[in-house]
Amino acid sequence: MRARDKAAVSALRATLAALDNAEAAPVGEAESRGVALEESPVGAGATEAARRELSECGVAEIVRAEATERLDAARQLSSPAHADRVARLRAEAAVLLRFLD
């Protein structure tokens, strides 16, 4: 990271965001409706929901999906004008695939 590898930074930031989203607690239909004031929770953190715990396999699936997404996008860009973007997408995918070895 000290070499300021922009492809690695971009890939890792996007993957961390995907992992963060995957850990988010689902909002049920009942939770999204308002409740009467006297039934509302009180106190610090009373409305916080526990986040999901991802298994190692779940994390690997998300990292693999992020790498695959980049490789698919690189395959779809066939114009020579997009050569730089294709190279960057492939570099990002390579960074992510290193974590799966």
pLDDT, tens digit, 9 for 90 and up, residues 13-46: 999 999 999 998 776 644 545 566 566 666 555 5
- Percent helix, strand, coil in the chain (nearest 5)? 65, 0, 35
Please give the pLDDT value at position 96.
95
Per-residue model confidence (pLDDT) at position 51? 81
Q: Is 67 helix (H, G, I), strand (E, B) or coil?
A: helix
Is the pLDDT assigned to residue 77 strictly greater than 70?
yes
pLDDT at position 33: 53
With a pLDDT cut of 90, the percent of the chain lying above it is 54
The pLDDT of residue 98 is 94
83-98 helix and 56-76 helix, angle to the nearest 10 degrees:
160
Gap between the Cα atoms of 29 and 72, Å rounded: 35
